[in-house]
Structure 1
Amino acid sequence: MAERHVLGISGGKDSAALAVFVRHHHPEIDVEYFFTDTGKELPEVYEFLGRLEGFLGKPILRLNPQRDFDFWLREYNHFLPSAQTRWCTRQLKLAPFEQWVRPMLAAGDTVVSYVAIRADEDYREGYTSKHKNLKVRLPFRESGIDKRCVMDILESSGVGIPKYYDWRSRSGCTFCFFQQKIEWVRLREQHPEAYEDAKTYEKNALEHGSPFTWTKGESLDELAKPERVQQIVEDFERRKQRELNRKPINPLRPIENIVDIDDLFGEDEGGGACVVCHK
């Protein structure tokens, strides 16, 4: 019976920083890195995974669901996933992980899973183990690592952050329902084909009676109207400027002078995220 150490990579900054942190502080541990691929990820995510693999010096195992997004969409009667019904996280992220570790646990191995929840995220909870031999560890919380430290880890290691952080606040699917409206606008600018795919899914869902659109209160067709795009951009810029005015400037730490999109939710947008997706 062995002890296995596994660490899930989402394509986001926190899980990447955790991989760097564990490698630096526990080089004696043979960590198995994995990425659960929904098939609907941003191309920038795959580029970042390659960069991270170069630093870690070992491959990141790709876990693929046995059934894709389209299959599960049909199973859920074409209802889009939402904050209320996160079937995408359950079927495309958690289930492949559980299927992967099941033979390890059946063999009597102990599996230690490292999860990237920071010390400044008391409100977040990680994956809850349902097996006595599956142990969950939160190294960032144990070591007092917050968001600023995460950025320092990635910057000092040379790994950096994914390119999509220039215009988006999270990884995960291209049409993640937790996106802000400004992020939908930018998705349309950066990856118009992905935006059109999301529109098709939305239109099909509405025709089947789904009560949800991808973004609260309006369809992607409505969101893409020029006057609406202008309104969303102007509202976001006002919020961004307010945040910049509020933050003290630190010339010695330029990374702190960057406004995080994830902190700028509008009045009609709720915060939130799936830990296993965007961390």
Structure 2
Amino acid sequence: MKLYDSDIASTFGGKTPRHILSLSGGKDSAALAIYLRDRVPEIEYIFHDTDKELPETYDYIARLEAILGKPIVRTTPVDSFDHWLAVYRGMLPSNHRRWCTKMLKLKPFEAYVGDGPVINYVGLRADENRTGYISTKSNILAVYPFQDDGLVRADIIQILEDSGLGLPPYMDWGRSRSGCYFCFYQQKIEWVRLLETHPELFSLAMEYEEKSVQFGDQFYWSQSESLRELALPERVGKIKSDWEVSQARKRSKRKNRSLVETLGGLEAEDDSHLRDGCLVCSI
């Protein structure tokens, strides 16, 4: 793995930095934590708990903590999602107004870091080309070990399988990303799967959506379609049918995959749609 001594010297004036990795509950940050466990023994692992995560995410973080053999610090914000929703006058977050990431992820991260020098390890892979919402504070140096070492998706899955952790359990029912259960970056098929797997969480998301009209224009988590409309049986059937058609088209164009990719549950999923998401939430 690349060492960042030259970057440290130029960025922090020779001062010794802390080493910090933010965990989202996603596969890439989990794999990076395992990858760095013995390479950077002084590393600190943190998890920004919004209190709106999937139950599978909490289970995954607990299992990862056991594998790492050291505590994962919960940087749970003092003020909850509902507090900030009130501060923002009932305006739900969206891809154009990502106050949820700012107030529940980024601000707690920066408060935990403080003003001293920090190397922040980010789990972007060598086979993806995306940017996201990460801190730009001058005392924080973001580094990308997977990109530096040329590790791609198959390598990440291999790390997770070899460790015994495996992929996040929410992927078993078709959720592609970590983050809040009402994440506005979800695909329609993922909303359908949330409805079928966690109907109580789907109902809570729908309740937030329907209350939003009291504070201005009606907002929809899933673009121009309300969750109540999306949950209608005929609409659920259409979404599933359209998804199957799109996946069949992708499979017909896809090159041969390695055994580890097949075992890793990638038969019908890719994460190209994750590129517009928030790094601190979805890696």
TM above 0.5, yes or no, is: yes
1:45 equivalent among 35, 57, 62: 57
Question: C-alpha distance in 2, partners of 1:151/1:162?
Answer: 11
Q: Does the 8 Å contact 1:41/1:174 carry over to 2?
A: yes
After TM superposition, give the deviation of residue 241 of structure 1 in Å: 1.4
Query: Which secondary structure state, in structure 1, belongs to the residue aligned with residue 37 of structure 2?
Result: helix
Q: Does the 8 Å contact 2:21/2:122 carry over to 1?
A: yes
1:14 equivalent among 10, 28, 53: 28
- Corresponding residue for 2:102? 90
- Corresponding residue for 1:172? 179
- The RMSD of aligned alpha carbons is 1.9
Which residues in structure 2 correspond to 1:93-132 (within 5 Å)? 93-102=105-114, 105=115, 109-125=116-132, 127-131=134-138
Gaps of 5+ in 1: none
- Corresponding residue for 1:23? 37
After TM superposition, give the deviation of residue 20 of structure 1 in Å: 1.0
After TM superposition, give the deviation of residue 12 of structure 1 in Å: 0.2
Q: Does the 8 Å contact 1:178/1:271 carry over to 2?
A: no
Question: C-alpha distance in 2, partners of 1:50/1:14?
Answer: 16
Q: What letter corresponds to residue 22 of structure 2 in structure 1?
A: G
Q: Does the 8 Å contact 1:80/1:210 carry over to 2?
A: no
- Corresponding residue for 2:271? 262
Which residues in structure 2 correspond to 1:171-210 (within 5 Å)? 171-210=178-217
Q: Per the alignment, do residues 237 and 35 of structure 1 end up closer, same or farther by CA in structure 2, a change over 3 Å counting?
A: same
* Same amino acid, percent of matched pairs: 46
TM-score when scaled to structure 2? 0.88
Q: Per the alignment, do residues 227 and 40 of structure 1 end up closer, same or farther by CA in structure 2, a change over 3 Å counting?
A: same
Gaps of 5+ in 2: 1-14
Q: Does the 8 Å contact 2:130/2:275 carry over to 1?
A: no
After TM superposition, give the deviation of residue 227 of structure 1 in Å: 0.7
Question: C-alpha distance in 2, partners of 1:2/1:143?
Answer: 23
Question: C-alpha distance in 1, partners of 2:270/2:232?
Answer: 22
Q: Does the 8 Å contact 2:132/2:278 carry over to 1?
A: no
TM-score when scaled to structure 1? 0.89
1:222 equivalent among 206, 225, 229: 229
Q: What letter corresponds to residue 37 of structure 2 in structure 1?
A: R
Question: C-alpha distance in 2, partners of 1:174/1:161?
Answer: 18
- Corresponding residue for 1:4? 18
Question: C-alpha distance in 1, partners of 2:259/2:107?
Answer: 44
Q: Does the 8 Å contact 1:117/1:126 carry over to 2?
A: no
Question: C-alpha distance in 2, partners of 1:126/1:186?
Answer: 27
Q: Does the 8 Å contact 2:130/2:276 carry over to 1?
A: no
